[in-house]
Structure 1
């Protein structure tokens, strides 16, 4: 099993994903001076590079800044399904956004897959792109009526789909399913490598290992330099420019992935998803999502993901982060008995919007700052939608997708879920008054962290692999929640808005912009 730690500039987690493990790092030079451009983009994942590519093709000058390496954020930790069968059901999307909103959702995600396919052909990108079928089947807690409702809603939204009596490819008969033809999959980092090369060929600039510290109208700043631009695009998975507004409309979830070997060609490639656990305590009900990927001449991989929970709150279900992998492994071995060795495991962070659609457009309160966030489980297509949509908005052109994805929108029919999520946020504030994790600093073994209570202070303590103890304030510098130790990814995770920090205090996920504050422990006891 791959459990090797790699530096945060390559990936935002302790475990290396298959994608990061199978492609050489995509690295450029750091920013080395002030710049002036038309558009500056913060973030070099699929959203940032797609926006850069479409803007350059429209004649704009573009600079891209990335605090790690290209794809080192959530793009490199996805399972890279390309689908118009969204993880939030179309019956829900129609309830939130009306029939026209559901039709636009189907149209835009279908167009995103077509955009990726066209770009691959035009730019000659070898990235394992493949068209295939997708199958939606019932979770054991769900009822057949869910598939009936979804079939009707998908047809109404303009999608092509079929009913099947059982699911192809699975060894277990899980009952009927909906078949979605003409879905796709690819290798996301191979695609980003080709997209980055196209951005440079078109005259764009990409700077890696360049952390942005300030975003404002007309410029972004790093510790040493300023990039001035007419327009700014923040494509950082969750916005680092917004202190509060957008973070009341979406919530961070942690999702888990395992990769198991199967004999080459023993299972026909497809995408599989179930409808989600109706008994889950979470507003965003976790579901299982599965695909195949070529590994070597003898083996394919089954990549299965799921068992999500609110970031920093795995303990609320009594299942720690590390044990969630075993539940996925057991699922794979039941449904794909040919699966053998477990060779990969990793997790990623998903931003779940309250009303199922991403936020792509002008940041509320700004005229020339744009955001891409709230990708839910469809980050590859949501990130791709951002390319043509933000290009049209920046150029002052009409785009009939803009209203559905407008970050300033208010969706009244999600009031119940909003109250549940804000209640969960309020509950995290109680951590100020709770004790420690039950561990003392002197008890920490190498590679272990914990939250300590020292008087009235909460301390995030971590002993590195060399035995040195690091101590920081456990108060997240974004909005002041108490972080939690994630023993699996060896990070301190904020349960309120998803900021994440290494054991040694460096920020690796926004919305926090700053590292945790270092403190002194006078005694290890």
Structure 2
């Protein structure tokens, strides 16, 4: 069973072996079906099982194999910052956001303590800083907005204990970090103890039904449930609506070895473009720490050779942290950026009242996943929640309209690629371990040459809404530049919203060409 959504490896995936759970074998009946075994899905399932609900949790890959296993696992203020939230909504909304972020961290801490989960949960201070050319005045406004929202903040002349001068910064007290997969491992065990059932290697292809029973169609059987929660980073069951209100981005991270204790245990975030964020991890039993540095984001499928982004992050880190030694880990992940800055957590729009989505993490996946679980579990239990309106997935895009329009224009522009030539004229130009788009008559093919020289040909049409996929040399995957779907070199789905594989294709030799040689053999993926 595939348990990863790319070839790069985070320190979490490298250091934890999550127990495997068998797939279903036939139809299943339950009260609640949760789809997605990341922090959002597992927390939702756990909270409901703890209240006595019969819960089935499924995942196409495995526990934490999606974006939670690729997180930098910090709990930090919202990406838009309180000044941005207040400007986009109002001061009352900003207070709700501050409360939700605070309560989410408290819940993770409480669960880790009560369920005896050894996940290195740790309270740390976080610092937002800006270099002079990036606008010190914005920090003053952010400090005031954070205070009005009720956040515990201090305005400082510089972040303490660092090897470089940050200049003025806002300190957000009592933030947190943890080992995300150890936390999920503990959540999974706790869920099972509370009567929940977990099935992995089960891909959901659709959800349909009525207000009484929803049916989750999977490749292993159907699951009948009174309520369904889609917690798959981006929803596969909502073909259009949610995907016009958020955009998919790749984000990159490095883990550099540093001497133990050489960097204070804090969270850092700057206001640059590109921006960078930092935290420190202490691997169990090691004589060193890891400096985790991330950033250099771009839209999914819109950088075919993103390896240079790792170089840029490394250069930035070494300029500020001279004690940094060798790079131990390089990895990337996917985040969903909502149009107005607030995540989408609650009832699925244009659906029955018993289907829910948790999406729009905006780089705060650990926090938003937990907030979403808190809201959705309360709604399923028939209780109102104070944050439900703020995060309602059905809300209209009233804020951030220029960015919303720009994102839609960017998406639409990529449909024009069906009229353009292929990236290479011949498959002979594709090097081992690389992929390229090839035009074949009226069609475009996604062709990958494996390290042994064998060619793997697939339709280049994304199975979500028909964009041309792009090669991602960093993860050896085919990525959709329109809505963020990703596929492996055999066409299998790595990330939604697509729920079905790329179609197999046949490479036709050019007219008059000799038969293919040993290095140009055609490979057709078997269903």
Is residue 27 from structure 1 mapped to residue 20 from structure 2 by the alignment?
A: yes
- Is 1:513–2:499 an aligned residue pair? yes
Whether the 8 Å contact between 1:216 and 1:369 is mirrored in structure 2 is no
Structure 1 residue 510 displacement after superposition: 0.4
CA contact (8 A) 1:10 1:25 kept: no
DSSP 3-state at the match of 2:390: helix
Q: How far does residue 177 in structure 1 lie from its aligned partner after superposition? A: 0.7
Offset at residue 139 of structure 1 (A): 5.2
Residue 185 (str. 1) matches residue 177 (str. 2): yes
Q: Which residue of 1 aligns with 2:255?
A: 259
Once the two structures are overlaid, the 10-residue window that deviates more, 412-421 or 354-363, is: 412-421
Instruction: State the 1:98 CA deviation.
Output: 1.2
Q: Does 1:438 align with 2:434?
A: no
Shift of 1:439: 5.8
Alignment of 1:78-93 (within 5 A): 78-83=71-76, 85-93=77-85
Distance across 2 between alignment mates of 1:454 and 1:214: 32
Say whether the 8 Å CA contact 1:82–1:183 is kept in structure 2.
yes
Partner residue in 1 for 2:525: none
Q: Name the residue aligned to 2:156.
A: 164
Q: CA deviation at 1:140?
A: 6.4
Q: Does 1:291 align with 2:279?
A: yes
Mapped pair 1:352 → 2:337: yes
For the residues of structure 2 that align with 1:298 and 1:405, how far apart are their CA atoms?
43
- Report matched runs for 1:219-258 at 5 Å: 219-258=215-254
Matches within 5 A, 1:306-455: 306-314=295-303, 320-366=305-351, 367-438=353-424, 440-455=426-441
Q: 304-313 or 289-298, which moves further after superposition? A: 289-298
Is 1:112 matched with 2:104? yes
Structure-2 residue corresponding to 1:69? 62
Offset at residue 398 of structure 1 (A): 1.1
For 2:286 and 2:507, locate their aligned partners in 1 and report how far apart those are by CA, in whole Å.
53
Q: Say if 2:304 is the partner of 1:301.
A: no
**Contact 2:446–2:458 (CA under 8 A) maintained in structure 1:** yes
Name the counterpart of 1:49. Answer: 42
Deviating more after overlay: 412-421 vs 197-206: 412-421
**Cα deviation digits, residues 294-335 of structure 1 (max 9, x gap):** 1343210001000000111126xxxx3001000001111111
State the number of aligned residues.
505
**Secondary structure of residue in 2 paired with 1:108:** helix
- CA RMSD, Structure 1 to Structure 2 (Å): 1.4
What SS does the aligned partner of 1:260 have?
strand
Offset at residue 443 of structure 1 (A): 2.5
State the distance in 2 between where 1:276 and 1:211 align.
39
Alpha-carbon offset, residue 441 of structure 1: 1.1
CA contact (8 A) 2:24 2:220 kept: no
Equivalent pair of 2:254/2:327 in contact (CA under 8 Å): yes
Q: 1:464 deviation in Å? A: 1.7
Query: Contact 1:53–1:387 at 8 Å: present in 2 too?
Result: no
Q: TM-score, normalised by structure 2?
A: 0.94
Give 1:172 shift: 2.2
Q: What is the CA deviation profile of residues 348-381 of structure 1, one whole-angstrom value per residue up to 9, with x for unaligned ones?
A: 0000001111101110112211000000110001
Q: How far apart are 1:389 and its partner, in Å?
A: 0.9
Query: Post-superposition shift, 1:100?
Result: 1.1
The corresponding residue for 2:465 is 479
Unaligned stretches of 5+ residues in structure 1:
1-6, 278-285
How far apart are the structure 2 equivalents of 1:141 and 1:347?
29
CA–CA distance in structure 2, aligned partners of residues 430 and 172 of structure 1: 47
Pairing partner for 2:5 from 6, 12, 18 = 12
